[in-house]
């Protein structure tokens, strides 16, 4: 592999490894659908950034995690370069029913 190709590939591998290590909650959500309550999720992640009531009697919570692509650290900076946000759906019993991850530039997340 030439140096012009190896450098970007190594940078992507390094970024993926760091993202996996920084504690994004994907595995927690995946392992706890149908189990975790709103209290469990709050104990793990704190209060959500947004809460919405659903017509079905459940609720939707949104968590926004800011990540600096320069340091690959998560922090509460609204000007971070990348945001990971999670939409969580809880049923009427307050149990996690489903979740959906998203990522995009932070300036487009509100």
CA distance 106 to 69: 12
CA pseudo-torsion sign 79, 83, 89, 90: negative
22-32 as b/e: b if 16+ CB within 10 A:
eebbeebbeeb
Residue 13 lies in a domain: no
Per the structure, the count of domains in the chain is 1
| Residue 41 CB burial class (10 angstroms; 0-12, 13-18, ≥19) | buried
CATH number at residue 67: 3.30.1450
Residue 85 lies in a domain: yes
Per-residue model confidence (pLDDT) at position 24: 76
Residue 64 lies in a domain: yes
Instruction: Kindly state the tokens that stand for 102.
Output: 């998203």
Residue 16 lies in a domain: no
Residue 97 lies in a domain: yes
Q: Is the pLDDT of residue 42 over 70?
A: yes
CA distance 19 to 59: 28
Residue 39 lies in a domain: yes
User: Could you list the residue range(s) of the whole structural domain that residue 57 is in?
Assistant: 23-108
Residue 6 lies in a domain: no
Tens digits of residue pLDDT in 44-74: 999 999 999 999 899 999 998 877 666 555 5
Residue 9 lies in a domain: no
Which range has the top average pLDDT, 15-24, 68-77, 78-87? 78-87
* Percent of all residues in the chain with a pLDDT value above 70, rounded to a whole number: 63
Mean pLDDT of 15-42: 78
């Amino acid at each position: 592999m030439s140096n012009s190709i190896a450098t970007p590939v190594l940078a992507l591998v390094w970024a993926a490894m760091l993202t996996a290590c920084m504690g994004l909650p994907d595995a927690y959500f995946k392992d706890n659908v149908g189990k975790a309550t709103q209290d469990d999720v709050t104990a793990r992640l704190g209060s959500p950034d947004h809460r919405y009531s659903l017509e079905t009697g459940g609720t939707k919570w949104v968590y926004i995690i800011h990540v600096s692509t320069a340091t690959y650290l998560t922090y509460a900076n609204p000007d971070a370069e990348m945001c990971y946000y999670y939409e969580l759906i809880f049923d009427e019993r307050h149990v996690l029913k489903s979740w959906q991850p998203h990522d995009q530039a932070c300036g487009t997340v509100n």
